[in-house]
Structures are given as C-alpha cells and as structure tokens.
Structure 1
Amino acid sequence: MDSNIEPSFQQHQQLQQQQIVPPADHAGVEFAPQACASCRKQKRRCDKQLPFCSLCVRIGRPCDYTEDSRGQAPSPEEFTALRQEVEELKNLLAAGRVPPSAQTSNGSGNGSNGRSGHQSSEGSYSNDDSLANNISHYGNQQQQPAWPGSTFPSLYFLDSNAFEYERFQIQAPYVRVPPGAVSSLGSSQELRQMIEHYFVTIHSHFPIISKIRLYQHLANPLHEPGADLALLFLAMQLASSQLAEHQAPQTQLYHDVKALHIHLEAQNALSLHTIQALLLLALYELGHAIYPAAYLTTGHAARLGHALGLHARDVPQMLQRPTTWTEQEERRRVWWGVILLDRFVNLGHRGKPFASADPSLDTHLPTDDAAWDKGQMLVAAPLALSASQTIRAAPFARTCQAAHLLGKVVRHLNDTTLPPEYKFAEALQLNRTFRALAAVLPDEVEADDPAHKPTLCTSMAISYSALLTLYDAYSCTERAIPNGPEAQLVMQQEAIAGLSDLSAAVLHLARRIRDSIDTEAEEGGGGGGGGLSRLSPLIIDCFYQAAANYAWYVRESSDRDCGERLEELKEVLRLCEGKWRVAGEYLRIVEATEFALASAIR
C-alpha cells in the first residue's frame, strides 16, 4: 500500500480542527499558526485569517490550513488503521454496497465506474437503493460544503483574462435537495418510470439529455446527487406530464420547478443539469402558452449558456473540460436547444432581438441521435452548418438546420434598414434555401426509423412556419413599394403561390400526425399519454398559420374546399389541445378571426 494515502473527508476535518490553534484575539479576528495550503503552493502572501484567508476569499478558491502531510509520515498505528479502512471499502464496493463515510463525502465520480447496479440495454438499472432513495438520503445530510466567504469567484466576470491566466477552475457547490423536492420526485419506482416515459416522449423530438450519461451518473455509488439533478428530474417530469381536462398548466409541479431553480441560482449551483432543466421548463411554457414566462425563460437559458461558455470553445469556461465524446456532444445539443427555442419564441413576436447570436457556418450540427444515445462514436466526418441541405443529416440536426433558417427569416423581416434591392434579393434566397430543405424532409420521414419521425416532423413544421411567415410578409400588394425593383414582383408571385402550396403541405402533415396519434392511441402506445405524448409543441404553429390562410381564402372567394380544409385543421388543433394548451389558444384566434371576417361581410 502507498503510504501517501489521503485521509477521508471526516478525518480531514478532525485533523484541521486539532492543528489550528486559536491565537490571541486581534480585533475579533482569529489567525492560523501557518499559511494556508493554497498560498504555500502559489508562494503568495497569506494573512492567515480564520476560517479563510482574504486571498482565497477574493478569488473564490478553497482555503485549507491543514499542515503539509508530505513532511509528516504517519505513525504505524495510523498507517495500520488507514489500511484497514481501505480494505473494508474495497470489500463493500465489491459487494455492491456503499459505506456511510463514502456516502457523506463530496466525491463527484466520473459517472462511468463503480456502478452499484447493472444497466440494461434499455438504460434502466436494477438497484432499488438508488435514484430517489439516494437523493432523499443526500437531501437529509446536514453537512454542505461551500466556497469560502463568497459563493462564486467574481474574478470570472470582473476580469476573465486574469481568471484564465491564473488557470483557476470553478468548482460548483454542492446544494442539498430541499425536502419538498424529494417528495415531489416520488419513490424510486415512480422516478424510474418517469425517466423511461420522458425518453420515449419528449426526448424523441427534443434530445438534449444523454440517456447513457444520465444512467451512468445515477449508477455511480460514489456520486452524491445534488439539487441540480433533482431539478432536472422535476423538469423532465413536468415536460412529459399530461394535464387533466380543464386543468390549468400552472400546476404545483410547475411552481416547484420554478422555485427550485430560483433556489439553485441563489446558491450559484450553475451546471449543465441546470440549463437542461431550464430548457425543458421553457418548452413546457411554450407548449401551454404561458406568457411572458416562456419568452423570459428562453432568454434566461441563453444567458446561462453564455455564462457557462456553451456557445463557443474559445471563451472562458465555467464547466470543466469534457472527458468523453458523449459529454461534448451533449453540450453541443444543449446549446442548439437554446438556439431552437430562442428562434421559435420570436416567430410570432415581431421586432424583438434574439437572446443568442447566430452560430457560425463552421459550427457542427448534432450527430446521429441513436448512436449518441448509446454512446457509440461514429466514424464519420462531422456535418457543418454550411453543408448543403441535400446531404443526409440526423433527425435533430434537421431540426437545428430549420431553426437556423427560421432565425434568418425573423431577422430579415425585423430589419427595416436594408435597401429594397438587397431586401428582395435576400427574401428570394431564403425562399430557395427553405424550399430545398422542405423538399427533402418528406422523403426522409417516409424512409426513416419510426422512432425518429417526431423529430423530422418537427423540422418540417418549423420549415413550413418560417416559409408561411415569409410569404405572408410579401404577398400583400398594399405593402409593395411603388416603382420598386423587379425582384419585388418576383418575390410577390412566389409568396402568393407559396401560401397556397404550403398550406396544402401543412394540411398533409396535419393528416399524417392525426393518423399517427389515432394509431398510437388504438395500440395503447405513447407511454401513458395516448397518441399525443410524443407530439412536439413546435409543430402546432404551422397548423395555425395554414388555418388562418384558409380562413382568409374563405372570406375572399367563399371556396367550399377551403372551408372544408379549414375545418379539418381546426379539428387537428382541438386534438393537439389535449396535450399542449397552445393549440387551444391558436384555435381561439382563428375562430375570432372568422367571426370578425363574417361580421365585416354582413
């Protein structure tokens, strides 16, 4: 055995208390007999204040007054006791159990070693003493490590150059799980069922959480689940929940997620789990038309992503360097999730800037979804954002491409400073690019695995929403510029014809989704939510825009076919309202428009 075995956390605290001698009172401040370990290592001047020196408090690093153990060899009795403890720990780990001393320590673990239960091919694991039981156990612990003096090193924001020059790293504080959050998670069995239901439903169209990393994280017996993981579980439960009829979407669970998130931010517990939970909360608010909360939560997620450094690799990073390809891919998907929701929430909200900048053309798109879920790194060149839309891409990558182009459409329509020649030329270019993407998606939906169709349908719907928004802006002759360039007339013709073609394409998509929902409901699928549980809330906007177009056609021409198509789309919106209440809001807008048009005709 190596003689330089470090003592446990409890022994470490006891040694520190024994070695620190309270000095004479000096204006109410106590001093240690020697400089702290950090100042000794950095050869910095230490004022020896207790419990933490001023320099460590200022830059937010741990302050430890334990004497350097390298010059003090352990006694034979201490060495024998340490060897016995190590042997006991080995035996307990081999038996699949964790000693209380390991449970109460602050070991983070890597998430891939020392599992207490075996993991099945579906990602679930069999140890009943994990999940909610572990979270409940750690939530009841009284000891909570914290940063000295300040809860966050302000140098990270005040002078990031100095922060990087000193090679400081931010260790996220461990925050206990509040008792109320533990009770909301339910039993271990209920928590496992919720996780499985989430990955069957929301994950199918919004894959931002690594399934294999999450289960490895939970199976690691040396990892203490903190409040950020509990927040993520609650957000997963919220996003995949099914509201009862006439139930308000601001449920108790919704308020629990909001409250726990505020509690974590107050403790500066900023992690990847935190922003993932925030994105799921924003998706829930978008799906149930909880405004302005949805708009603000999306912007908050973008700010948090910037603070963590997810938007670029050459900026100060709050998170530790990723150790696996799966982890790096997860961070990429989280930031694409921010971009996706940030663009979508501004689709019908004219004249507002995005909370996140457009990604550069060399930014990599998400890789294959199924391989990433299994942790299998593919031997394939990464696909950049600048790649042609005709190149085959993963389902979620298609959604990201559509979201990026949607952002370009929104920026184009909001920009009132462009010269007319450039504005119409840009509109035509956006039309051609979106048309190319929309043309390949239906074939990919037909040929792809059924498990990926929710994501591909989401990319189709976003493409249709963006094109319908673009066409609506250029189809009206009253908005035309007198003596405008020739490109204005070309774009107007494209818009008028495009509104009719795209509305028919949306109706075809609505029929496909309705049939899929009915089939899953008859087969008892959907993970307990009927056939609606896998429906993305980002699909519904294109149904609304197409229905509004048909309502306008009925007013202008009294076309019977258009009236039938309008009623068909309204019926699909009523069906979607069973899962996402935003569909009911859209339906009421269409019906109010119909009433106003009918009143104007009379």
Structure 2
Amino acid sequence: MVTAFQSSPGGSSESPMERPPERAHRACEKCTRTKKKCDKALPECSRCQRLASECSYDYVFTAPTTAIVDPGTHGSGGSPHDHMAGTPRFNIFDTDLELPSAMIMSLFNAKGFSWHEAVALYFRTTNLWLSAVHEQRFRQKLERLDRNGLPREPEMALLVVCMHLVTQHADSGRPVMPDGKEMLSLPAYVVAKRVFSILRGLGAPSIEIVQSATLLCLYEFGHGDFPRAYVTVGDAYTTAASMGIRPGKYREAERDWAVPPEDEEKWDLYWAMLIVDRLIRFERRLMWKEFHVPSPVEDDLLPTTNHVWNEQTRSPARIVQRHPAGISPSVPLGAFQRNCQCAILSTRALVWQTETYHSGRPPSVASFAELDVATRSLVEAMVLQASTWGEYYECFATCTCLLLLLYCSYLCTIRPAEIHTNTNNLEVLKAIAGINFTIRIIADTTRDLNQHLARQPEMLATCSPVTPYSAYHSLAALSNFEHVIWEADTRFHDIYSTLHFFAKRWGVAGQLVKRIEEFLGRKDEEEAPLLDFSFLSRT
C-alpha cells in the first residue's frame, strides 16, 4: 500500500511511544493532484482524514521503481519494502541503469486500468485519423509477452502508456480539466516523459520511441504545453531521421503491389509526425517557428493504409492502396490520408503567412487564391464522399482553420468601414463570401455534433486538438465581422457550446473558453472589444 516508511535507526533505545510517527516518502494521490500540502501521515494523511477521502500512496508505483530517488536509500541494504516487492532497485546514478517493462506497466495497475482495453480504444479512435502506430506490426510485437502477460521491452511498455494517455477524456473516468494544467501533472504522463527521456538518451533508436514521442507531442499540445510539444516532435523526428524513416516513393509500375508491413509502418509514422508538426502551428506561439518535419514532394507516397467506411458492416474496412502525395482530392481516401492532405495544405498556408509577413506588403486575396481553391476542393470532396457522420470531422476542422487564416489575415488589413456587403472592392466581397462559407461549415457540423455529444459523450474520444482551435478561430471571426456574417449570434452560441464539450477532451479547449469568457465579460464595458486573432499575431 505504501511506497516506503521512515523508521528510527536500528538499535535505538526509544520506546514505541517516543518514536516519530511513520510517514510516506511522497505526498498522497489526492494532495498531489490538487497541489495541496500533504503531511504524508500513515495510514492516511490528515487532510484526507479530515475530508473523509480515500488516501492512497501507491498511485504511481512502489519506491523501488520510482524515478524520484531518495538520497538516503542508496545503501545496499534497501528498505524492507524493496525485498518484499522483489523488483530491481531503480538508481538514477547507476551507469547500468535499466527500466524493467513491468515497472512501466505498473502505471496501469495503480488505477486498475486494463492496458488491453487502452490499446483497443486507441485503435478504435485516435489511430483512425493519426496512424502513428501500425496495428498489424504492433500486434506482432505484442506476441512476445513475459510470464506475467506484459510486454517484454520497455519501449513497447512506454508506447502502450502513451496510447492510453492520448485517449483520456472526462467521460472516460478522469475529472474535467477546464484549463488542462492538471493533465500535465498526471503521474502517468510525468513518468512516461521521464522514461522516454531515459530510453531515448541511453538506448538505441527504435521505432517505438518515435511513436511514443509523436503521441506525447499530441498530448502536450492538446493540454496546452506548447513549448514542450514543439521540442517533443523535434525529438521524434531527430530520432526518426537517424533511422531513415521517411515516406516511400510512388512508382506507377508498383501501384498495385502489396506493401510490406515493415515499410508501411515507417511510411505511416513519417506522415503522423508531419500531421502533428503542422497541427501544433495553429497555436500562434508555434506558428512562426521552423518546421521540424520536412514537407513531402509530389511523388512521395501517401500512407498506404486506408480505412474506408463499409456500409454493410457499418465499420471501417482496412484497404492498402498506393497514391502519390499530389493526388487529386476527388480520389476517395480515408481519414488518415485526408489528414495528410490537410497537412500539405497547412504547410502551404503557413509558408504563405510567413512570406507575406516578411515581405512587408499587405496580403491580397489573389495571393492565396490557388490555396483557397485547393482547400475548398478538399472540403467538397469529403462532403461528397463521407459515408457516415463525423468520418472526416478532424479534416473539416483543419480546413476551417486554414480558410480563416487566409481570409482573416486579409480582412485584418482592411479598414473596418470598408468591410460591408455593399462595397465595390471585389477582394473584400470574396473574403466576406469565404468567411461565410467557412463559418457555415463549422456551424452546421457543430450543431449536429452538439446533439450527438449530448447523447453519446464517448464520441469525444475521436476528437483531435485541432477541433477546439477550429471552434475558437470561428468565434474570433464572428466577433470581429459579425455584421457581414449570416446568423452570427446563433452560430456563435452553437460553436461556443461545442467548445465546452471539447474542454472535456482536451485541456487547451478550456483555455480557449477562458479567453472567450474574458472577452464576453468586457463586451459591455468597452466601446469596441474584439476577440483576438491569436493565430495572426507573432506576439
């Protein structure tokens, strides 16, 4: 139950009444989670006793496996609990440091989670739109379990923990995190991050380390730790580059050839890193930073794994196809491949934004007309090809962010008095039409989404962190240009409600809600309050 005890030195003549009370080496779970001072009393701390709460000190794992080393326990004898646990000691000063897989997997035991269920949930949800883990290869590697039914390699154990982390949401058992901060102090994340650092720094590069880093970046960005997310995806690609992980090349003669799972795994991972690297740029603090993952070229292979919806079985069917990165949007593709196309368009939009900024010239609609057409074409193709509700929701959200980036960047350079539907400025009229087109997409999908989430909150498990940004940027456009947007008030309310739902899934949504609440609180006090276009400003 308890990690370790403080006891009086052997041979002490103190009577039991004179000995100091036994205390744990770390704060209890509740005090750690709520960031309150804990007196570490045993068997329960005074705060939990006063609040009549369950007090637990074993929420991470026991003292022999903890990454926080007690300087007083470096002796060879160890504590009684070490011998009872029967596990190797974890000593950060040991040059032959090892991280047993069982130690990492004990993160599941502490809370009673089933790691098999966590893996299944990941493949049913996140991996459909971000296939960072190749399911067939993953299952093959899991055939090598130890006698306790756990992955043998610590890299595989870490990957399982990361797969579990990115599927967490309020309705899956964790508390609602309105600002995401507590999700970044969860023991499972903190330990996973430490284990990742040790394995990456001391072990040989492995594809599981790259996959773990990709998922950790997604988790960090989704809960608002933007600098750390930027560094983590850089770590992922640096390791991937050393292993030669890159997209394959499309060759017409090989179009119908079978794809070896080992190659497919590497190709998919490159695209997953690209998606995450571009996804995090929708936060203004990361938009202007250099890309970590290099952009693909026209003849690079898209991911060959394609999950196409099967109407007969009412489930996604896995199909393997070879398509070049420059393929037309009219070709039916799955959600992961569509997200890759979105990442390519995101790259173009971000490059356009940066070049426009450095040129010193105001943007024009003509300067992004080709990109606008490409983004609209992708949206229309997904509308026509979607076989079930929400199949491409993450892609729609990304396209929404892109279109708002283009049009709002332009309109923010125009005098407010010139932004109206009776203007003679054709570019302004095109921008107004573009914003109305974009807002209509997000408003229609969020209205339907609100109804579904009210009945099926488990649908949150499939949402990506781009969905809160899509909602927020739409609200920013509505607050700034409501006089030229049709049904602005109604749409603002619908999208705002959805952002509250997203806060149950990703902590960053709670931070965006807070920005909007501050704006609404000032709305009646200031003459012309505007919701900041956070994705347009470098400061």
| TM-score bucket (shorter structure) | 0.5 to 0.7
Contact 1:229 1:273 in 2 (8 A): yes
In the alignment, is residue 249 of structure 1 matched against residue 249 of structure 2? no
Structure 2: unaligned runs, 5 residues or longer: 1-85, 90-94, 250-257, 310-314, 417-423, 529-539
**What is the distance in 2 between the residues matched to 1:297 and 1:287?**
13
Cα distance in 2, alignment partners of residues 534 and 377 from structure 1: 20
Match of 1:215 in 2: 139
374 and 497 in structure 1: CA distance in 2 versus 1, 3 angstrom threshold: closer
Aligned equivalents of 2:166 and 2:442: distance in 1?
A: 25
Contact 1:519 / 1:531 at 8 angstroms: preserved in 2? Answer: no
Deviation of 1:471 (Å): 0.8
The equivalences for 1:103-182 within 5 A come to 176-177=99-100, 180-182=103-105
Retained in 1: the 8 A contact 2:101–2:151? no
Q: Which residue is equivalent to 1:513? A: 449
Distance 1:355 1:383, change over 3 A: same
Q: Which amino acid in structure 2 is aligned with residue 547 of structure 1?
A: L
CA change 1:421–1:504 in 2 (3 A) is closer
Q: Per the alignment, do residues 175 and 397 of structure 1 end up closer, same or farther by CA in structure 2, a change over 3 Å counting?
A: farther
Match of 1:568 in 2: 494
TM-superposed deviation, 1:261: 0.3
Partner of residue 467 from structure 2, selected from 536, 539, 562: 539
Q: 1:596 to 1:407 in 2, by over 3 A?
A: farther
Aligned partner of 1:475 in structure 2 is 411
In the TM superposition, 1:76-91 aligns within 5 A as none
Corresponding position: 1:365 with 2:302: yes
Post-superposition Cα deviations, 1:70-115, rounded to whole Å, max 9, x if no partner, equal xxxxxxxxxxxxxxxxxxxxxxxxxxxxxxxxxxxxxxxxxxxxxx
Q: Does 1:578 align with 2:469?
A: no
1:228, 1:290 → 2: CA distance?
A: 24
Distance 2:512 2:298 in 1: 34
* Residue 393 of structure 2 corresponds to residue 457 of structure 1: yes
2:125 match = 201
CA displacement, residues 133-162 of structure 1 (integer Å, 9 cap, x when unaligned): xxxxxx9689xxxxxxx99xxxxxxxxxxx
Distance 1:375 1:225, change over 3 A: farther
**Displacement, 1:333?**
1.3
Question: Within 2, Cα distance between the matches of 1:234 and 1:545?
Answer: 32
CA distance in 2, matches of 1:265, 1:403: 27
1:308 equivalenced with 2:243 (yes/no): yes
Is the counterpart of residue 231 in structure 1 residue 158 in structure 2?
yes
Matching residue's letter, 1:326:
P
Q: 1:441 aligns with which of 382, 405, 412?
A: 382
How far apart are 1:544 and its partner, in Å? 0.8
Partner in structure 1 of residue 478 of structure 2: 550
Cα distance in 2 for partners of 1:464, 1:224 equals 41
Q: Secondary structure at the match of 2:526?
A: helix
Hey, what's the Cα distance between the residues in 1 that align with 2:379 and 2:176?
35
Following the alignment from structure 1 to structure 2, what is the Cα–Cα distance between the partners of residues 563 and 218?
52
Would you say how many aligned residue pairs link Structure 1 and Structure 2? 403
Distance 2:279 2:105 in 1: 33
Tell me the residue number matched to 1:353.
290
Highest RCO, 1 vs 2 (Cα 8 Å, sep ≥ 6): 2
Structure 1 residue identity aligned to 2:472: Y
- The partner residue of 2:109 within 186, 192, 199 is 186
Match of 1:241, SS state, is: coil
Distance 1:308 1:515, change over 3 A: farther
1:265 to 184, 200, 204: 200
Instruction: Measure the CA separation in 2 of the matches of 1:499 and 1:475.
Output: 10
How much does 1:385 deviate? 1.2
Sort the Cα spacing of 1:274 and 1:592 in 2 relative to 1 into closer, same or farther, 3 A: same
SS at match of 1:364: coil
Say which SS state the counterpart of residue 292 (structure 1) adopts. Answer: helix
Find the counterpart in structure 1 of residue 516 from structure 2: 590
Letter in 2 for 1:471: Y
1:395 to 1:270, Cα distance in 2 relative to 1, 3 A: same
| Deviation readout 1:292-323 (Å, 9 max, x if unpaired) | 21222222222222222212669xxxxxxxx9
Q: Residues 418 and 358 from structure 1, CA distance in 2 versus in 1: closer, same or farther, beyond 3 angstroms? A: farther
Letter in 1 for 2:435: L
CA RMSD of aligned residues (A): 3.5
Q: 1:492 to 1:258 in 2, by over 3 A?
A: same
> Given residue 325 of structure 2, which amino acid in structure 1 is its aligned partner?
L
| Post-superposition offset of 1:353 | 1.7
Secondary structure at 1:478 match in 2: coil
What TM-score comes out, normalization by structure 1 length?
0.60
1:375-390 mapped onto 2 (5 Å cutoff)? 378=320, 382-390=322-330
What residue in structure 1 maps to residue 253 of structure 2? none
Deviations 1:272-302 (A, max 9, x none): 1111111111111121112321222222222
CA distance in 2, matches of 1:236, 1:179: 17
Which of 265, 275, 279 is 2:214 aligned to? 279
Deviation per CA, 1:329-374: give whole Å up to 9, x if none.
Answer: 1211111111111112122324322112211111111234348999
Q: Identity percentage over the alignment?
A: 21
| Secondary structure, counterpart of 1:601 in structure 2 | coil
Alignment of 1:419-430 (within 5 A): 425-430=366-371
Change (3 A) 1:194 1:176: same
TM-score w.r.t. length of structure 2: 0.67
Once the two structures are superposed, residues 470-512 of structure 1 have per-residue CA deviations (whole angstroms, 9 ceiling, x without a partner) of 11111234389xxxxxxx9654432222112211211112123
SS in 1 for 2:224: coil
Cα distance change on mapping 1:516 and 1:307 into 2, 3 Å: farther
- Maintained 8 Å contact 2:308/2:333: no
Rounded Cα–Cα distance in structure 2 between residues aligned with 1:401 and 1:567: 31
Cα gap change, 1:306 to 1:491, in 2 (>3 Å): farther
Distance 2:448 2:135 in 1: 28
- The residue aligned with 1:398 is 338
Distance 1:358 1:177 in 2: 37
Structure 2 residue 247 is the aligned partner of structure 1 residue 327: no
State whether residues 474 and 491 of structure 1, in contact with CA within 8 Å, keep that contact through their aligned partners in structure 2. Answer: no
Cα deviations across residues 143-185 of structure 1 (Å, max 9, x unaligned)? xxxxxxx99xxxxxxxxxxxxxxxxxxxxxx964265413114
